[in-house]
Structure 1
Amino acid sequence: MRAAARADVLIPTCNRPIALAATLATLVGQDFRDFDVVVSDQSDGPAAFDTAEARSIVRLLQTRGHQVRLLRNLPRRGLAQQRQFLLEQARASAVLFLDDDVLLEPEQIGRMVAALEEQACGFVGSAVIGLSFRDDVRPHQQAVEFWDTPVEPEQVAPGTPQWQRHLLHNAANLWHVQRRLGLSPQERRLYKVAWTGGCVLYDTAKLRAAGGFEFWRELPEVHCGEDVLAQLRVMARFGGCGLMPSGAYHQELPTTVPERDCDAPQVLDPHGVAAGVP
C-alpha cells in the first residue's frame, strides 16, 4: 500500500448518480493533487457510482494518481453513522467531507489544505453558494467577523449570539460579500462561523479526538444536523473557521432528508449528553 495522501476526500451519497458524477468531475481539475477519494453509497437501488459517467470519471482520477474507493454502507443507520463510517476509512492527516451535490473551483482543495495547515485548527469550511440567488442581494444577512488573529477555540451553541453567523451562508450572501471585497481566488480571508455545510476540511486527528460522529448511536435513525454538531465540538476544543472566497457551489437539488424533526445540535449538547432524543 502506498503512503497516505495529504488529504482524503470523503463523499457520502444516496440516490444522486448524476449529481455525484458532476461532483467527482470537479475533483479531476484540482490544482492540488495530493488527495485520495472515498465514496460511501446508501442508495435504494444500484449504487450512485455504478454508472458509466461516474466510472469514467473514477478511472480518470485514478490515472492522475488518486486512489478511489467506492463503498456501500448498508443498511442505513442515519447520516451521522454514514459520516462516521467514512471517517473510519480515512488514512490522511486531513479529511474533506464533501457532499454529493457540490461543485469545486480548481483552486479549492489546495486553498483549504493551506489554510488548515497554517492555522493548525480543527477545521476550515467553505460554505456552498447557491448561484440561482446571485441577483438576490440581502444586506441584512451579510455581517461577517474576520479572524484577524490566529483561529482559536470558541464555544458556539444554538441560541447564542454567534449562532446568527449562519445567515451569511444563506442563498448567495457569501458570494456577494466576497465580490464586494474584490477577493481573488489567490487571496485568503478567514472568518468566524457557527457552522459550515457541504464542504468542510478537518484535521483528522482533531476530529477523532472530539469524538467524530460517534454520537450517531445517541440519535434516532432519521436525523439532521450531524455535521453541525461535529463542528461545534471540534470548534470548542480546537477552533474552526470559514474560508473566503469560497469556491464551492451547491447544485441546489431537493434534500434527500425531508424529515428534519430531530436536529442533532438541538438534542445533544456539545459534550455529548442526550437532551430529549426522541
Structure 2
Amino acid sequence: MFVPSDLDVLVPTRDRSGALAVTLSGLAAQTASGFRVVVSDQSRTAVSGDGLVAAAARILEHRGCPVTLIHHVPPRGMAEQRAFLLRHAERRLVLYLDDDVWLEPEAIEVLLAAISRLRCGFVGFGLHGLSYRDDVRPQELTPYEEWTDGVRPERVRRGTAAWRRHTLHNASNLLHLDERTSPATHGGGAKPPWRPYKVAWIGGCVIYDRPRLVECGGFDFWTHVPPHHAGEDVVAQLRVMERYGGAGLLPSRAYHLELPTTVADRRAECYDYVIDAS
C-alpha cells in the first residue's frame, strides 16, 4: 500500500502566481500529509517572491510536506518542463498537477489508494469545469466504460473507438457521469469512494508509477518536438497505457480554475512528432 511519503507532487507553472497559490492551498488542505512538492517555475519574475505562494508553501511545510521552488528558465516547452520535473523526482510515485487545479481534501488519499489497488501505470482525475455544470452533453458521455476486472494495457490511437473517450473530460461531463452511473443513484447501496474507468488520456491531475513512466521514456521526447507544442501529456500517457494500463477515477476530486491557457500556440501536437513518427 502506497503512503504519502512515497509521493512527489510535480507542479509546472508560468506567470500564474495567483492560480499557483490556489493550487498549493488545495495541497496544504489535504487529509494526507508527508508528500513532497516540487514546483518548476518558468515565470518572468520568480513566484518565490509572491506573498500568497510563499504563504501556501509555508503552510505545506508546517504540515509536513516539503516544498522546493525552482526557477527554471528559459522556457523550452511543456514537455521539457515536465521532463525537468521528472529528473527532480525522488520518490516511487509522481503526481503531475497543473498550476490551475484545486483538489478536494481527500484527493491525494484516494489517488494513493487507487494506484495501490490497481497497480497500473497511472490513474488520475479529469477536471471539473464548473461554469458548465448546467451544460449536459449526453452524446459526449456515451464512450464511458468502467474497468470491472482490473486495469489492463491498451493501445489507444487516433481514429479508434478508445480515442473518442476524450469527450468524457469536456466541460462538466464528469459531474454528469457520476450522477448517471453512481451505484447509489441506481439503488446499489452506498456510493464507493472511487470507481476506475477507461480513458483516452487525462489532463491536469495524473499520478504515475515513476519507474514505469521513466521506462516508457517519460517526457524525454521534448528534444524531438518544436519548442511551442501541445499534448505532451497525451504522448506520455499513451506510451504508459500501452505497456501498463491507466484509468480515470470517478467521482473526480479535481477542479479546473478555468483560466486562459498559457499554451496559446497549439499547432504542433506532440502526437504528430512522436506517436505518428514511431
- Pick the TM interval, shorter chain: over 0.9
1:276 equivalent in structure 2: none
Matched, 1:38 2:38: yes
- Distance (whole Å) between structure 2 residues aligned to residue 176 and residue 50 of structure 1: 40
- Distance (whole Å) between structure 2 residues aligned to residue 244 and residue 48 of structure 1: 33
Residues 118-150 of structure 1 show CA distances to partners (whole Å, capped at 9, x for unaligned) of 111100010011000000000001121100111
Instruction: Give percent identity, aligned residues only.
Output: 49
Matched, 1:202 2:208: yes
- Distance (whole Å) between structure 2 residues aligned to residue 136 and residue 193 of structure 1: 21
2:137 equivalent in structure 1: 138
TM-score, with structure 2 as normaliser: 0.93
1:256 counterpart letter in structure 2: T
1:263 counterpart letter in structure 2: E
Counterpart mapping for 1:192-231 below 5 A: 192-231=198-237
Report if aligned partners of 2:110, 2:193 keep a CA contact under 8 Å in 1.
no
Q: Which among 257, 270, 274 is matched to residue 263 of structure 2?
A: 257
State the 1:180 CA deviation.
2.8
State the 1:186 CA deviation.
5.4
- Distance (whole Å) between structure 2 residues aligned to residue 242 and residue 37 of structure 1: 22
Report if aligned partners of 1:21, 1:49 keep a CA contact under 8 Å in 2.
no
1:127 equivalent in structure 2: 126
State the 1:260 CA deviation.
0.6
SS at structure 1 position matched to 2:46: coil
1:181 equivalent in structure 2: 181
Report if aligned partners of 2:8, 2:89 keep a CA contact under 8 Å in 1.
yes
Report if aligned partners of 1:10, 1:96 keep a CA contact under 8 Å in 2.
yes
Using the TM superposition, name which of 20-29 and 173-182 deviates more: 173-182
1:94 equivalent in structure 2: 93
In structure 2, the gaps of 5 or more residues are 185-189
Report if aligned partners of 1:12, 1:98 keep a CA contact under 8 Å in 2.
yes
1:84 counterpart letter in structure 2: A
- Distance (whole Å) between structure 2 residues aligned to residue 256 and residue 38 of structure 1: 19
Question: What is the root-mean-square deviation of aligned Cα atoms in Å?
Answer: 1.5
Residues 48-77 of structure 1 show CA distances to partners (whole Å, capped at 9, x for unaligned) of 342111101111111111110000111111
1:5 equivalent in structure 2: 5
SS at structure 1 position matched to 2:47: coil
State the 1:92 CA deviation.
1.1
1:65 equivalent in structure 2: 64
- Distance (whole Å) between structure 2 residues aligned to residue 198 and residue 185 of structure 1: 25
In the superposition, relative to structure 1, how do residues 176 and 136 fare at CA in structure 2: closer, same or farther (>3 Å)? same
1:163 equivalent in structure 2: 163
- Distance (whole Å) between structure 1 residues aligned to residue 243 and residue 30 of structure 2: 31
- Distance (whole Å) between structure 1 residues aligned to residue 110 and residue 191 of structure 2: 9
State the 1:185 CA deviation.
8.0
Using the TM superposition, name which of 6-15 and 260-269 deviates more: 260-269
Large movers: runs of 4+ above 6 Å: none
1:7 counterpart letter in structure 2: L
In structure 1, the gaps of 5 or more residues are 274-278
Q: In the comparison of the two structures, how many residue pairs are matched? A: 268
- Distance (whole Å) between structure 2 residues aligned to residue 194 and residue 213 of structure 1: 18
Report if aligned partners of 1:20, 1:49 keep a CA contact under 8 Å in 2.
no
TM-score, with structure 1 as normaliser: 0.93
Counterpart mapping for 1:22-37 below 5 A: 22-37=22-37
